[in-house]
Structure 1
């Protein structure tokens, strides 16, 4: 086993791409997320279900953005992923026509992959028999395809990987991408997550499990992390991609560096399929591992982007861990109050929001937080964005199966 680090390894975040319920592109996301304006609304595709609302990506036209011929061969999860990757590469001022594609990797996270396509084609099979099942199902449904389509679209011909650690997938992908850069395997890695699983069957299962908010009378107020009146999460969809490079490479080409990913930690609870370990031991190990990897002391952390799902168990457990590790000092937020829970894309979107918070020195508020739970004894930012000079931040992601992934972010 490798010993403890004696020198930090930073990777530069030179590009960010976002396709979320807050909008398409960085500026649309900043406007909505930093204003704390929720996106949850009633959803016609979920009509008749016990929970009939969620957070959809607005105004997304796959045919216009990708071309009709390409769009029909992809599940929406890949639509979102490819568009976010294109944005990130453009934001990084990189030209795929000019780069050495063999040195460009892709690591994407997802939980359910092309779930909606699988559900649709399964329905056809049951209703009409095998003769009407699409031959494209096997290039649309599998979880690996988003990373594959990004490689095809951008000629990123290096290592091409997908990780699936449930709602921790995006952070896990960023951690593995950083490792590829440190090992010298790649010079550029596109890393993030994508999810488009708001199908009737998936949402019905989550509702039956008691994971979703049932606040159907007021969907916009349903996702309320750390609030005393929270009752479950609101499902969302989307994608986020970061362009990661070695700092010296980014400097050599004169790139703008938005922030740095300086540490990564991962762990397992080994406790329950869907509930967090009430002791918080696994999540705490991941946080401390990320800090150790970044050579950062807890007292140096000024901001925590919490997993903050708006479920009774997660928010209580996570706030206890944050208090135990960091005390009361860091400014804590959960952006799920605005965009909902993006499942396998959540960690990636929240990593992007953490990068932008560090870059701008401005922590977004936790939407819908009107009455802080008395058991949540940390400094949760609410009502409006808060200026904070951030020397270090962490982004927490915890998933079903007890899989935890945390990244540490520092200024450029």
Structure 2
């Protein structure tokens, strides 16, 4: 008797970002194709960032008002809780005042963690007024533990950082745990709140931050003009994953997850050939049916840096050669949200699969115009400092 295949499906998702705080507001932002950047004054210099909208900020404030204990938490944790509750509710897992669900595991990651709160407590330390809450609220582990409290999850709880691949690594963990039977349901995602003086200064010190403040498109992945246009953004996205034997038709499946790594050749871990991307994409493709390894579209990592964008394009060329899929990105709209970026790209993939369209890059770029009909399988890439990369493939069943 032939065994029925089991599928890892995305049963629900939630997100909050400069593009919106629910599927409706985010879809409207993608349809309009209007970048979410604004200029702030950082160390006396106008600096573009992508911050939450006023309405998204209000939604975050309502979350804090609903639970007074949330006021002590870092912004990154609050956004993770907001997104996770959305995902759990959409999946039908959110049960208020219920016993903890020991079959529900949580993995939320972040590149920087509680950077805003850490900076606040460090300033208090310098003034000899350090609070007793400094340590428990700035540990990386409080990301997943607070999410677990918010959704009554009693299973495994993981908080991790693998820089900008963090969110897709969480998806990889979710797939592995579900297949291994270590959980029956899994919340996976990433969150980042990096719009602090110190974090912005760090990105400027690397020499990659955009100087196009005040221009319509200050972040320009794949731009014809070779310059660094990296911009920081904030946000979180979380996905409810479950392994199902006979999912409903049209359910979105996580078909494959690939991971890649290469030895350091620069301070950011980027080689000209994008070896880490090549490895992660090939590993993901190898998990597809041997007679059907076609990918229709790739949502690339491409943060708008000369070296990073060029390396990923080189890797795609090496892997796909003359059969390269359509390529797009959302960073020209929302900037680079570091550890949350892969999760927000995955959210974009779900939007594209539903709408069967995506926002065309409006500035002069290196991408060739290709047929965008029948987008059924999407690959999402992410890479981070240190030479790591991840690729996730999703498609409707």
Residue 144 (structure 1) aligned with residue 144 (structure 2): no
Give per-residue Cα distances to partners, 1:60-105, cap 9 Å, x unaligned. 1333123251221210001100000111112223333568710001
CA contact (8 A) 1:359 1:411 kept: no
Equivalent-residue separation in structure 1 for 2:239 and 2:175 (angstroms): 11
Alignment correspondent of 2:351: 356
Q: How does 1:296-311 map to 2 (within 5 A)?
A: 300-311=294-305
Distance 1:286 1:371, change over 3 A: same
Equivalent-residue separation in structure 2 for 1:276 and 1:144 (angstroms): 28
Residue of structure 1 aligned with 2:223, choices 223, 227, 240: 227
Alignment correspondent of 2:253: 260
Residue 321 (structure 1) aligned with residue 315 (structure 2): yes
Distance 1:214 1:107, change over 3 A: same
The root-mean-square deviation of aligned C-alpha atoms, in Å, is: 2.3
The normalised TM-score by structure 2 is: 0.91
Residue 392 (structure 1) aligned with residue 377 (structure 2): yes
Give per-residue Cα distances to partners, 1:24-79, cap 9 Å, x unaligned. 11121111123321011012xx5335462200011213331232512212100011
Give per-residue Cα distances to partners, 1:131-190, cap 9 Å, x unaligned. x11222222211111111010111111011122110110101001111111011111111
Equivalent-residue separation in structure 1 for 2:185 and 2:229 (angstroms): 38
Alignment correspondent of 1:334: 329
Secondary structure of 2:102's partner?
Answer: helix
CA contact (8 A) 1:333 1:380 kept: no
Q: How does 1:12-411 map to 2 (within 5 A)?
A: 12-43=9-40, 46-50=41-45, 52-59=47-54, 60-61=57-58, 62-67=60-65, 69-97=68-96, 101-126=101-126, 128-129=127-128, 132-218=129-215, 220-229=216-225, 230-248=227-245, 251=248, 258-271=251-264, 272-295=266-289, 300-326=294-320, 327=322, 329-366=324-361, 369-373=362-366, 378-379=367-368, 388-411=373-396
Distance 1:138 1:328, change over 3 A: same
Equivalent-residue separation in structure 2 for 1:379 and 1:10 (angstroms): 34
Equivalent-residue separation in structure 2 for 1:298 and 1:312 (angstroms): 33
Alignment correspondent of 1:11: 8
Secondary structure of 2:392's partner?
Answer: strand
Distance 1:283 1:144, change over 3 A: same
Q: Displaced runs of 4+ in structure 1, greater than 6 A?
A: none
CA contact (8 A) 1:259 1:359 kept: no
Give per-residue Cα distances to partners, 1:331-363, cap 9 Å, x unaligned. 211100111100000011111211222233223
**Which segments of 5 or more consecutive residues in structure 2 lack a partner in the other structure?**
none
Secondary structure of 1:56's partner?
Answer: coil
Q: How far 1:281 sits from its partner (Å)?
A: 1.6
Distance 1:363 1:285, change over 3 A: same
The normalised TM-score by structure 1 is: 0.88
Q: How far 1:23 sits from its partner (Å)?
A: 1.2
Distance 1:298 1:202, change over 3 A: farther
Secondary structure of 1:105's partner?
Answer: strand
Distance 1:84 1:380, change over 3 A: farther
Q: How far 1:209 sits from its partner (Å)?
A: 1.2
Distance 1:93 1:408, change over 3 A: same
